Structure 1
């Protein structure tokens, strides 16, 4: 969730961290993104031998797995028998577990050395093994769905039956009424329907998303001028930098030129987005859903009223955002605020270094409210000698950061740590994911350990909020405090308000498709610009081409995903507040949620942590905190915001 990480980086940029003893027994290293991987000390690289001791051992496992996969066919047509059903699922999940080790080992190795052709081939072979397994296991779902309730209950009651898989089976059958006949299912599959895929819906781009990307890649972006008046080629990569320039003329020119260029491709981009939304509606209707929203939320067992509550709660609390716009206007000395005025930091930031050994000490201090159990695992995972983390960049390592879990081993965290405060924030975020996976793996069987995307960003944002609170508490000057508060406001604006605006736009346009309204660039412009006016209020000026912003946002191809950013941050904030206010009882509930994996419906797991997203309470609380922070920052900066 890069939006949250980038904005929380601003929180960190002002803080002058107190000195403390470093982990002096770790070798000193100065990060260098252009250095070969061989230059990075081995201790700072993740330990893939926890998966396979050698590449040869990996190849042996691949061969062994391929020999075992055909054994699944012995159960085809026999899953009405309780013991056959259990034995089949035993074998399937055992094979899936080993296939996960195979693919993760190959993918993690490649991620750190992208151009190594041997590693590329190994990664492709690993993916092929997983594909082979999934093809061989295709009959399992259809046979389980074909079982009648009486047969299934008999199977559950049988001591030799599949009782341990009941949650998995029941969740699989939850949408049984949406399954069509074999021929219809085949047609939908060929058309790209992945409502029944075991993977995240957005891991495989649709052809229309690919077309959208192709249009953007073919655009020649305009030349703009930097603060020195020099001509600069605008690109999607440097858009963010010039959009946030302290020079208002630069950022105004940047956005005007960017949107005007998009305008030249408005009809092609409207066609790709309309095509994606029409496909969403087609797949939903084919399976008997009233709306695309219902279909795509139902995959993760999320009721539509969660989405309803989010949009309603945010729309009922737009006044704090209007106050924030007014705060920006006053602090920046503007007559009115435009879109290009939203991204420049309100408070200038100062760079400083946070070496990784120091980060190992800061994060446990910041996350201490989560209790000794959590902090102990955090310390263990942060210590590079334990093999979880690949710390530093190198010339052939992929960019960015992520966490990947391997059941029966431990999480793996990829960083490109360069001693910045932004990296410290990213580290907190990724270890939220890593500890979520670690705790779920420690308590759940394989089939119930992997949490759904809806829950994915809660642990990461909870960590970031606790880190933010820690930095507020340790700030030593008014300037530091102002920087922290300003960055927190921007985080909430971009993650709750902005992502909800995106989600409301997505819902409105799907609604147009569902009602038969033709989708044109003009309709998309008017709809988007209208939402911007409503959200940002009377003190915000919407310029002529601002409505074109819809045209370059890839999230609109992600099938009702962006709302989870807003609910995730709201939930993470609520949990952080509960932990601080209630102490151990709140910690216990939160850890129970993390340990739950996918053993219960996601909303039920979240309720263990004290958050009920069928009600607007958590979202309202987050926006009340936003409002209080506007008032607090205004006081620190000496301005009056009604």
Structure 2
């Protein structure tokens, strides 16, 4: 889904309402003023200018302490309703100021004044958080019967029911005021309000510093030149067309990590011990239970993913054997996994072609979804910042502004990969737009578990359409190879990570000391089992755990695998006999925000991740892709 042949691209073109756009050649070094205005997002839809932003900041600065007037009064229903109304109104308006500054910084990284604006806005949000810190504690003291009576007596309180019920659901996990204060200082995010990012632990900070300070070795490039390898360039060397370049880079990379193995084991072991301690302090049976409970999930979802993937490893083993044959290798090593199986189909794709093409490829999503997509991709509506410029943030993201619309940052450089990224980011944008137009601010922001589903569904539909319209076996093979790698790296690999994370937490919960040797052996055993007999395990493969940052995110990595599995399963449903029901269910799920438990919302789209079916469907798609590729290559 990232690399598209021109013939397939042309097949995507159709008469859609998106207007023709002016021609522009992307230039990453262009000054911001040299990028045509029609391709920039419109921050004027947030604030007309900086003076208006400053006026709002000044006004809000004088209003933040208003929330303190409700302290000690929330047992009375009317005061609770007024307090929550005031709090979320202030939060939303401050968030507008914060996002305005965030977006300004994203396109002007060299602008110290923009960074100062961002710091001031974030400071105001922190001030609100401190002023409102009493709310959760007082709400949890309200008896359930009294809360139900308050709902009946004050219909206006009903809008906050999802927020209140999610808080009260975990009431028995709350400790005394002093204990909560201490846990907050330690970065415990169990009670984080929306938009409050988790504070990195000292172990995570040390991990980042260790990676930064490592002196990476010199390696040889494809021309035989000795060059400096960095953490950022490792991926490029690992995927080199020259096998000796790949082999040397991977060997030296892991040999370098090996020199610091005990330091890495200390930071990761310390992080997991910290996570377990936080969970135990709140009376949870395990860290897994604690960190899934925050989003209304249960360990059954996590274990279902691991068990289902482990029951379907044969297609991955088959893919490893196919890759080994296709590359003509006697042995398949880690440094052979990231080299594309096929090449030669890279062509230019303009933003105009990509946006119109996506409108065709995503037709199965139905009119309600497509109407938002079409509006958002039209640069005239101010949602998107299309092209790179000097001092612009790299990559892509979607940022949601409640009461306005999402903003999408791209660095579109006329590549097929950019087209796939566009599909992905507009999954986030459509999800946010539907949620904010259906839910109050207090319950519109969906949990991370649901965040990738619309995006991966978009990518799956784009991939399917391109494969179906391929004009040659070579083009088809290129697209199929890309799909296989997407599923391998996002479902199989991330589930391997998830299983490793669970295993190491379990060691700690059982009192087993964490050492570099134990981590190596645990990780190597998983790699051996997942990749099967056609894969040759090298002595240092078990060290890969050492540089994976996701292990510091407290049971987050599994959501990549469940997200793609769900996206593929929904895409399958959109092509089935009940397509209209799936369309309606998907829109209902995306519109739900955080108004219901995430598993209940996902079931509206026909996916139940407490059962194997959706994951099996995704892995069946992988198996079918491998079979198609075998016919083309063997």
Which stretch of the first structure deviates more once superposed, 419-428 or 240-249? 240-249
The equivalent position to 1:62 in structure 2, one of 57, 60, 84, is 57
Identify which of 184, 207, 221 aligns with 2:202: 207
> Residue 622 of structure 2 corresponds to which residue in structure 1?
626
1:229 to 214, 224, 230: 224
Counterparts of 1:89 and 1:56 in 2: how far apart (Å)? 29
Match of 1:18 in 2: 10
Q: 1:398 to 1:13 in 2, by over 3 A?
A: farther
| 2:296–2:598 contact (8 Å) kept in structure 1 | yes
| Cα distance, 1:129 vs structure 2 | 1.1
Is 1:82–1:161's contact at 8 Å kept on the other side of the alignment?
no
Q: CA deviation at 1:190?
A: 1.7
Cα distance per residue 1:452-509 (max 9 Å; x no partner): 0000000100000011011112110011111111111111000000000000000000
CA contact (8 A) 2:92 2:441 kept: yes
Q: Which consecutive residues of structure 2, in runs of 5 or more, have no partner in the other structure?
A: none
How far off its partner does 1:164 sit? 2.2
1:309 aligned partner = 304
Counterparts of 1:14 and 1:257, CA distance in 2? 39
Query: Map of 1:179-218 to 2, 5 A cutoff?
Result: 179-199=174-194, 203-218=198-213
CA-CA distance at 1:25 after TM superposition: 4.9
**1:200–1:453 CA contact under 8 A, matched in 2:** no
| CA deviation profile, 1:253-290 (whole Å, cap 9, x unmatched) | 11111101100000111100001000000000000001
Question: Which of these residues, 551, 556, 559, is aligned with residue 546 of structure 2?
Answer: 551
Structure-2 separation of matches of 1:271 and 1:560: 19
> Matched residues in 2 for 1:15 and 1:328: separation?
26
Tell me the TM-score normalised to structure 2 length: 0.97
**Superposed counterparts of 1:535-546, under 5 Å:** 535-546=530-541
Matched, 1:29 2:24: yes
Displacement of 1:350: 2.6
Residue pair 2:238, 2:246 contacting (<8 A) in 1 also: yes
Shift of 1:204: 3.7
After TM superposition, list the pairs within 5 Å mapping 1:512-551 onto structure 2: 512-551=507-546
Secondary structure of 1:193's counterpart equals coil
Describe how 1:326-365 pairs up with structure 2 within 5 A.
326-365=321-360
Change (3 A) 1:627 1:124: same
SS at match of 2:210: helix
Question: What is the aligned counterpart of 2:2 among 4, 9, 16?
Answer: 9
Q: Distance in 2 between matches of 1:528 and 1:57?
A: 54
Match of 1:3 in 2: none
1:116 maps to what in 2? 111
Provide, for residues 551-596 of structure 1, a one-character-per-residue CA deviation record: whole Å limited to 9, x for no partner. Answer: 0110110100010000000000000010111221110011100111
State the shift of 1:159 in Å. 2.9
**Residue in 2 aligned with 1:609?**
605
How much has 1:65 moved relative to structure 2? 1.1
Choose which of 394, 397, 400 in structure 2 pairs with 1:402: 397
Cα offset, 1:201, TM superposition: 8.2
Instruction: Answer yes or no: is 1:509 the counterpart of 2:504.
Output: yes
Q: Is the alpha carbon distance of 1:571 and 1:15 closer, same or farther for their aligned partners in structure 2, counting shifts above 3 Å?
A: farther
Match of 1:579 in 2: 574
Q: What is the Cα deviation at residue 621 of structure 1?
A: 1.1
SS of residue matched to 1:407: coil
- Give the structure 2 partner of residue 594 of structure 1: 590
**Structure 1 residue 175: Cα displacement:** 0.5
1:169-568 correspondence to structure 2 within 5 Å: 169-199=164-194, 203-568=198-563
Tell me if structure 2 keeps the 8 A contact 1:311–1:504.
yes
Distance 1:257 1:200 in 2: 40
Determine if contact 2:585/2:605 at 8 Å carries over to the other structure.
yes
Distance 1:123 1:549 in 2: 36
Aligned with residue 121 of structure 2, among 120, 126, 129: 126
Which of 30, 36, 40 is residue 35 of structure 2 equivalent to?
Answer: 40
Aligned CA RMSD, in angstroms, stands at: 1.5
Shift of 1:228: 1.9
Gaps in structure 1 of 5+ consecutive residues: 1-7
Contact 1:14/1:483, CA 8 A, preserved across alignment:
no
Q: 1:498 to 1:540 in 2, by over 3 A?
A: same
TM-score (norm 1): 0.96
**Aligned equivalent of 1:5:** none
Q: Residues 136-187 of structure 1: CA distance to partner in whole angstroms, max 9, x if unpaired?
A: 1111111001111222122112136622211210111110100000111111
1:394-414 deviations in Å (ceiling 9; x for gaps): 011111100001111000000
**C-alpha contact (below 8 Å) 1:86/1:160 kept by paired residues:** no
Contact 2:187 2:199 in 1 (8 A): no
1:146-165 equivalences under 5 Å are 146-159=141-154, 162-165=157-160
SS at match of 2:366: helix
Verify the 8 A CA contact 2:187 2:198 in the aligned structure 1.
no
Cα distance in 1 for residues equivalent to 2:14 and 2:586: 31
Q: Which moved more, 1:439-448 or 1:403-412?
A: 439-448
Against the structure 1 CA distance between its residues 424 and 37, is the aligned structure 2 distance closer, same or farther, given a 3 Å change threshold? same
Shift, 1:200, TM fit: 7.1
Q: Secondary structure at the match of 2:227?
A: strand
Mapped partners of 2:301, 2:428: distance in 1: 23
What is the CA-CA distance between 1:21 and the residue it aligns to?
8.2
**SS in structure 2 opposite 1:232?**
strand
What is the CA deviation profile of residues 353-410 of structure 1, one whole-angstrom value per residue up to 9, with x for unaligned ones?
1111111211110111111221121111101010000011101111110000111100
The answer as to whether partners of 1:326 and 1:539 remain within 8 angstroms in 2 is yes
Distance 1:79 1:612 in 2: 38
| Inter-partner Cα distance in structure 1 for 2:226 and 2:5 | 29
- Contact 1:431-1:460 within 8 A present in 2 as well: yes
Q: What residue is the counterpart of 1:87 in the other structure?
A: 82
What's the secondary structure of 1:17's corresponding residue? helix
Q: Secondary structure at the match of 1:224?
A: strand
Deviations 1:37-57 (A, max 9, x none): 000011111001111111111
The 10-residue stretch of structure 1 (406-415 or 236-245) with the greater mean CA deviation from structure 2: 236-245
Q: 1:134: how far off?
A: 1.1
How far is the alpha carbon of 1:433 from its aligned partner? 0.1
Matched, 1:166 2:161: yes
Tell me which moved more, 578-587 or 430-439.
578-587
1:212: how far off?
0.5
**Cα distance in 1 between the residues matched to 2:459 and 2:263:** 39
